[in-house]
Chain A
Amino acid sequence: MNRRLLKERLSMFALYGLTAGGGLILAVILITVFTKGAPALSVSFLFEASRNFGLEGGIFYQTLGTLILMAGAALVCLPVALGSVLFQTEFLHSPQLKKIFRLLIYSLNAVPTIIFGLIGYLFFGVFLEAGVSWVTGVLILAVMILPTLHVSIHEAVETIPKHYREAGLALGLSPGQQMRAVILPQSLHGIVTGTLLGLARAAGETAAIMFTATAFSGVDLPQSWTDPVTTLQTHILVLAQEAANPEALTNAWGAGLVLLAIVFILITATLWIRSGLEMEAER
Chain B
Amino acid sequence: MSDDNKNNWPLWEIFIQSKRGLEHKHVGSLHAADAQMAIENARDVYTRRQEGNSIWVVPAGAISSSQPDDSAMLFDPADDKTYRHPTFYQMPEGAKYI
Q: Do A and B bind each other?
A: no
Which B residues fall within an 8 A CB radius of A? none
